[in-house]
Structure formats: structure tokens, C-alpha cells
């Protein structure tokens, strides 16, 4: 027997039904998990199962980028672009930031620059020494050879470590050039172009993806790589930087992965996920079928969210580092 057959049988037993009659789906679609509305909308008394507010998600439409940025500015202020360092510095910083906090990657970069003041010195250094210098940032055994391989390729292809030519290339070509380097994906390429050059390339990290999915800007099944294309296409060049910074700040402070603070969220009124994320487990052991299904669906969504989660509170490093390191840490 299928899940829908079981649910339908349960409804026949537990819910007093009016005569069977096919009706049009309600204008406000029931958002019960497992599409329970698809099972019960054939009955006139569908509301007897799904009338409670806890059985529905917010029916709000997603914000437009303009509305979204304006609302986030209320909490986080203006977010003007500022240069974070030269392109090579930005590239190495972003490699160090992969799968760790900004604080740790900033400290690792400061130690790396203290040990190797020039890119030439870093290129000639033994990989084991580089590992030791950046081990504070995590995954040093992976990142050290990756950084050295990038420096080697840049030197072989350009003859220097000056990446300023990327400013003159069409945006798509600049992204593609960077992505040919070892360990450079769409986020790293976008970080270099956005933060070093102010070009409208949108980096999508775990916070940006999570907030965008909860707001309904992209679907829950959208991958980070897909989101780079979809979200960037929604924005004007002037919106890319404040959109990125705003969603990162909001994801870290309010729209957190495990327990979002929806009651404090400036976007709550227009967030399709707000009611679902704040729904509490019913205390009674005798629950409606839709309550049970709500919990099952919420569990599955938590698992999906975990795929994009680094469950770490970001604490900004206040230690004295190089100017480029400080700028990187100030992104938050």
C-alpha cells in the first residue's frame, strides 16, 4: 500500500468526511509535507485536516533583490564595495578560507606572509614548511600544495604574479581563466573578481545559499554551483556586492543553519520558510496526521540543510595582521 493510500485510509477513520466531491484546489495551497493536500483536496472538508496555522508555511512571495537589499540595510547599514587586496592576495586568502572560519584563515594568512614576504619566496618554499605556516587554518596538507600549484601555474602562464589583466577580460572569460587553476571553483573565482576588482561576480558560500533557499530565491535542491548562475542573473552589477555581503551577515547572525532567529528577522514577513522554521513540536502524544507528517518533513529538510552547513559561530579576529588580512577579516 502506498503512502498516499495509508494517509487516505487514516483520514477516513479519523476525520468525519462530507460526501466525496471533487473540488478545485484552494487558492492558498496547503503546504502540508508529503503533499498531503494532493490526497485530501478531493474532500470538501479539507480544512478539517489542514486549518491550523502550524500546518501551513508562510504564503509570502519571495522578495525582489531591490527589496531584499533595502531591508537588509536596515539591520546592517550601507554595504559599499571596497578593495580587499591585490588579486593574488585575494586568491590565496580565499583558498585558505575554504572549509574554515574567517578568523582561522586570516590568522593562517598572516603567518604565511610573515614566513614568506613575497610570492617568489612562497613559490620556492618547501611544501612541508608551508603546511606548518598555515596549519592553524585547517586542511593544511591539502591547501599548501594547492597554493604552491597555483603559484606555479600563474608564473608559468603569466610570467609574474600580476593578475590585473583579469580586469580587462570579459567577465565570463575571467571566471573561466581562474577556474583552470588547481582548486579554484566558482566561489573562489567570484571572490577574486568581486573583492579585488569590484567586478559583478557573485560568490555563493554556505550562508548565501542557505538564505537564498529559505527565501525561495532558488529551490532547496539547487546546488551552490547552480546558485552562482541563477542568483547572479537576478542582480544588476550594482546589486552584487551588497547582496552578497547582506546575505552572509544575515546568515551568520539571524538565519543560522540549525536554529534561525525568525522572530528577529527583518525579512520574516516575506519569507516563505518563516512559519515552518519556527514551528514547535506538539506536546501531546495524540496528534493529527498532518502534525506527524510535518515533523517527518522537517526532519528531511534539516538533513538537506546540513549538506550546506558549517555549524560554526564566526568570530572575527582582532589580532594585528597584514593590511590584506585585516581587509579580509572585515568582510563580515
DSSP for 97-115 reads HTTS-HHHHHHHHHHHHHH
Q: How far apart are CA 288 and CA 26, in angstroms?
A: 21
Looking at beta carbons, which pairs linking 257-261 to residues 24 or more positions away fall under 8 Å? 257/206, 257/210, 257/305, 257/306, 257/308, 257/309, 257/310, 257/311, 258/309, 258/311, 260/214
Q: How far apart are CA 270 and CA 234, in angstroms?
A: 18
List of residues 6+ apart from 285 with CB closer than 8 A: none
Task: Return the residue matching grid coordinates 585585516.
Answer: 326
Looking at beta carbons, which pairs linking 253-258 to residues 24 or more positions away fall under 8 Å? 254/75, 255/207, 255/210, 255/211, 255/214, 257/206, 257/210, 257/305, 257/306, 257/308, 257/309, 257/310, 257/311, 258/309, 258/311
187 assigned to active site? yes
Q: Is 12 exposed, middle or buried (0-12, 13-18, 19+ CB in 10 A)?
A: exposed
Among the options 143, 148, 187, 249, which is catalytic? 187
User: What grid cell was written down for 137?
Assistant: 587554518
Q: Which residues are catalytic?
A: 187
Amino acid at each position: 500500500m502506498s503512502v498516499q493510500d495509508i494517509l487516505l485510509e487514516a483520514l477516513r477513520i479519523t476525520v468525519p468526511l462530507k460526501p466525496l466531491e471533487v473540488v478545485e484546489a484552494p487558492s492558498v495551497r496547503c503546504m502540508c509535507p508529503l503533499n498531503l493536500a494532493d490526497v485530501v483536496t478531493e474532500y470538501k472538508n479539507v480544512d478539517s485536516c489542514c486549518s491550523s496555522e502550524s500546518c501551513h508555511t508562510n504564503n509570502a512571495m519571495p522578495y525582489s533583490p531591490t527589496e531584499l537589499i533595502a531591508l537588509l540595510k536596515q539591520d546592517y547599514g550601507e554595504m559599499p564595495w571596497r578593495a580587499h587586496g591585490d588579486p593574488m592576495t585575494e586568491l590565496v586568502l580565499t583558498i585558505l578560507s575554504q572549509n574554515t572560519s574567517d578568523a582561522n584563515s586570516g590568522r593562517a594568512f598572516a603567518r604565511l606572509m610573515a614566513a614568506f614576504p613575497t610570492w617568489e619566496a612562497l613559490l620556492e618554499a618547501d611544501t612541508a614548511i608551508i603546511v606548518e605556516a598555515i596549519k592553524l587554518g585547517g586542511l593544511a596538507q591539502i591547501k599548501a600544495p594547492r597554493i604552491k600549484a597555483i603559484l606555479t601555474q600563474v608564473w608559468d602562464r603569466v610570467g609574474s604574479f600580476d593578475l590585473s589583466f583579469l580586469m580587462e577580460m570579459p567577465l565570463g572569460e575571467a571566471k573561466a581563466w581562474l577556474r583552470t587553476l588547481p582548486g579554484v571553483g566558482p566561489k573562489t573565482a567570484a571572490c577574486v573578481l568581486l573583492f579585488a576588482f569590484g567586478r559583478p561576480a557573485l560568490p555563493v558560500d554556505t550562508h548565501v545559499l542557505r538564505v537564498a533557499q529559505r527565501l525561495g530565491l532558488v529551490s532547496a535542491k539547487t546546488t551552490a554551483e547552480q546558485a552562482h548562475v541563477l542568483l547572479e542573473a537576478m542582480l544588476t552589477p550594482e546589486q552584487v556586492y551588497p547582496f552578497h555581503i547582506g546575505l552572509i551577515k544575515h546568515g551568520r547572525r539571524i538565519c543560522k543553519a540549525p536554529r534561525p532567529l525568525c522572530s528577529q528577522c527583518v525579512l520574516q514577513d516575506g519569507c516563505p520558510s518563516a512559519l515552518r522554521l519556527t514551528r514547535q513540536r506538539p506536546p501531546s502524544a495524540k496528534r493529527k496526521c498532518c502534525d506527524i507528517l510535518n515533523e517527518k518533513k522537517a526532519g528531511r529538510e534539516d538533513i538537506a540543510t546540513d549538506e550546506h552547513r558549517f555549524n560554526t559561530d564566526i568570530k572575527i579576529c582582532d589580532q594585528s595582521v597584514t593590511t590584506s588580512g585585516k581587509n579580509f577579516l572585515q568582510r563580515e
